[in-house]
Amino acid sequence: MCAKATEPCRQSIPDIHLSLEYCTASVPRDGHYYVVKDGQIDGRFRTLKEAQSRYRQLISQSGYAGPKEKAGPGRHSPEQVERYLDSLQDYWGDSHKHTRRGGKTMYRS
């Protein structure tokens, strides 16, 4: 979340229609932080810490567990990562055995 500034900022969870806002179009520009639930102002707070406390309280009351992780490219199980690191270690551990021998002109035709 943003620090207290004159620029508008917003932290939200669209799935449960909850947001913490400061100087946005949907809340007054009076220097206070607002917690907005279902389009209605739920609380007005002087400090970000107080607003975040109420924001977290509403999240826990809703039972929201966060976005579900999607399996796809870039997602690997710990076993896959461990196998990959083991294969790298084997490769680089034996790499000194597979170096080219000979001088500059060894492989020229």
CA distances from 108 to 2, 66, 101, 102, 104 (A): 63, 61, 13, 11, 8
Query: Structural domain boundaries of the chain?
Result: 9-62
Share of the chain above pLDDT 70, in %: 79
Where does the pLDDT of residue 102 fall: very low under 50, low under 70, confident under 90, or very high at 90 and above?
A: low
Q: What digits encode the pLDDT tens for the residues 21-68? A: 999 999 999 999 999 999 999 999 999 999 999 999 999 999 988 877
56 close to 13: Cβ distance less than 8 angstroms: no
pTM of the model as a whole = 0.60
